[in-house]
Chain A
Amino acid sequence: MTAWIVFWNILLKDVRTYYLKPPNLSWGLIFPLAWTGMFFIRSGAGRDSVLELLPGVMALSVLFGTTSLLAVTVTFEKKGRSFERLLLAPIPLELLMLAKTSGAILFGIANAFVPVVLAAFLTDLSGVAWALLVPAVVLIAVSSAFLGLFIAVSVKEVFEAQAFSNFFRFPMLFLCGLFFPIAQLPMWLRPVSYALPLTYGADVLHASVHQRGQMPLWLNFTVLMAFCAALFAVSLRNIRRKWIA
């Protein structure tokens, strides 16, 4: 019961304090709209391109929203020492950090569905395999949130969190098969693609939206879950090493 009270209140505080703030809400709406508009105009194929673009725009919306906010908010709280309050709470560190990342995960999932709502007005979504798409979005949000946590633990200043986030995000933008198939990348770049979690998430999204996945679904989900577990474990280890040193 105690653990649940702590978990719920950390989540509630973060959602109210950070994720429901007007600048972040507008970021959550404008960012996916801007990506959609950009690729829509660039493709020149009109409404036919909407389904083609949807997986990439969804994945980027989750990735950018989740990693940015989590890395910045945790770094901000660490710098202001309010994060010490959480470390002093008598609940396991694992649960504490899950509570801290849950707000970002929910924010990322909500971001992912902004382009879906937009697409529903422009094209027919009856062919979308929702049972695949929803778990894929959740796993992309979880892995991105844990990537944000990993970034937050690696930096000291808020501006460093932003810069370090981009170090991971921009390669993903081009190398994860979101808008350009991995098969079209130079051979030497492909191993990098397969080392990025979003590659597997994007593949499931492609499979669920227009049935064009490149890898087996079981492999995509297994690798995504493995990335989530590894990023969380490494972040916890770093917190223990650096912040409870």
Chain B
Amino acid sequence: MPEPMIEVRGLRKRFGEVQAVAGVDFDVREGEVFGFLGPNGAGKTTTINMLTGLARPDAGAMRIAGIDCSANPKAAQHLMGVVPDESNLYPELTGRENLCFCGALYGMSKADRRTRAEELLARFGLAGAAERRFGGYSKGMKRKLTIAAGIIHRPPILFLDEPTTGIDVAGARQIRQLIADLHAGGTTIFLTTHYIEEAERLCRRIAFIVEGRIVRIDTVANLMQQTEGLEVVQFFFANHVAGLCDAMAAVFPHLQCHAAGREGIRVESAEPVRVGPLVRFLEDRGAEVTEARRIRPSLEDVFVQVTGIEAAAMRQENDKAGIGGGA
């Protein structure tokens, strides 16, 4: 088994009354894409900040490639690239200048950083905007350049904090492809995201973090085993009828029913679900059923089971915080 590139034991951090990280333990293996999944305020960014040297833990141990991050953060910083949750390059510098400057911060020679900057600008489709100021870039372009800045020095470990938030679908696909390419090249990637589908697609192992604690950590394959035998059916309506979920739960106690948007419900059961009686039941209560669809259980279902947090609510919360788009 490969040696852990990131080792975290008993990590804790408190901000005043808020226990942001409450005793977190995990390992990230070399060359692995590790997902850190949780709602806003779960402690994802605080954990990244402690690992990258932007925050000091109250307790616990962190090692990056065997280097004690608390005792020698600067040595560990040599090995890492960091893409923060907000694009934080210099608005008054051009795209090319920003990349070259970030390369210089890691001691890259002038020739090396220029070559690498050109390579990354081309790879991210930003070559045409290389001479434009970063402040004038669109949100998606800013995000891409921020990611390019995080990998300009070819770090063996990359911390990606919500990399696809706020960008369009095409941009998000491009970034996911880049993450896959970096992974194929052997980069260890620590990815935080609230897009569960994204984590499912990219990560080998995932940790669910809620209120500063890791509630489950496992491979995607093992997590998905939890949904074996689970049947999920989603019903869509042409009209809105209040109280359908409660009525259904009263009549069919073996079913778990959740609202899915304003005009839809989602039904889950560990037993086989017969759709016909359910459609009749719904129509008898005034619902105009337009579609009933069996859905393959996803990591989202595991997340809901493990954390008790509705994934849709988590997405809405994040979107309200101004980070839409993505997966």
Contact = CB atoms under 8 A, between A and B. Distances in A.
A245 B109 contact: no
Q: In this complex, which of B77, B82, B89, B107 has the most chain A Cβ atoms within 10 angstroms of its Cβ?
A: B107
Given A85-B102, A90-B77, A92-B74, A244 B89 contact: no
7 contacts: A8-B104, A13-B101, A88-B54, A90-B78, A90-B106, A91-B74, A244-B56
Interface string B78-100: 10101010101111110000000
A2 interface: yes
Contact of A87 (B53, B56, B80, B104): B53
B184 interface: no
Contacts of A41: none
Contacts of B89: 82, 85
B86 to A, nearest CB: 6
Interface residues of A, number: 25
Interface in B19-60: 52-56
B54 A84 contact: yes
Given A17-B93, A88-B52, A89-B106, 19 more contacts: A5-B107, A6-B104, A6-B107, A17-B92, A82-B88, A82-B90, A84-B88, A85-B88, A85-B105, A85-B149, A87-B53, A88-B54, A88-B77, A88-B105, A89-B105, A90-B75, A90-B77, A90-B107, A244-B55
B281 to A, nearest CB: 53
A104 to B, nearest CB: 17
Interface of A: 1-3, 5-6, 8-10, 13, 17, 77, 80-82, 84-92, 244-245
B89 to A, nearest CB: 6
B292 interface: no
B265 interface: no
Interface residues of B, number: 28
Contact of B107 (A1, A10, A80, A85): A1
A17 B75 CA distance: 29
Interface in B106-121: 106-109
Contact of A9 (B84, B91, B92, B105): B105
Interface in B303-325: none
A10 B107 CA distance: 12
A87 B101 CA distance: 14
Q: Which 8 pairs across A and B sit closest by C-beta, in order of nearness?
A: A2-B107, A9-B104, A81-B88, A90-B77, A89-B105, A90-B78, A5-B107, A90-B74
B78 A5 contact: no
Nearest to B100: A9
A60 B92 CA distance: 29
Contact of B77 (A13, A80, A89, A245): A89
Nearest to B82: A88
A237 to B, nearest CB: 13
